[in-house]
């Protein structure tokens, strides 16, 4: 029987379809009996969906951002 800790450790593999049939059956059996893990997997699915909807824009480099903030602070002093 799969434990909650084991399910959490392998949840990404489960959600990404990277498990063998035997592993998937073990996860599904555990989920059928464990409400906490069902909620965990549901939340993981929602999180993945939100992340997939985020734009693929690159964020400014942290060093450049820190420099701009330092310049603005010096300018305001």
pTM of the entire predicted model = 0.69
Mean pLDDT of the chain: 91
pLDDT tens for 47-74 read 999 988 877 766 667 778 888 889 988 8
- Greater pLDDT, 21 or 61: 21
Residue with tokens 């450049």, as numbered in its chain: 64
As a dihedral over the C-alpha atoms of residue 68, residue 70, residue 75, residue 77, rounded to 10 degrees, the angle is 160
């Amino acid at each position: 029987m799969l434990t909650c800790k084991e399910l959490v450790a392998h949840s990404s593999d489960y959600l990404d379809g990277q498990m063998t049939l035997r592993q998937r059956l073990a996860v599904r059996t555990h989920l059928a009996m464990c409400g906490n893990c069902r909620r965990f997997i549901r939340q993981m699915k929602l999180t993945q969906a939100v992340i997939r909807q985020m734009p693929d824009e690159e964020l400014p480099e942290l060093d450049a951002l820190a420099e701009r903030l330092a310049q603005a602070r010096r300018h305001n002093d």
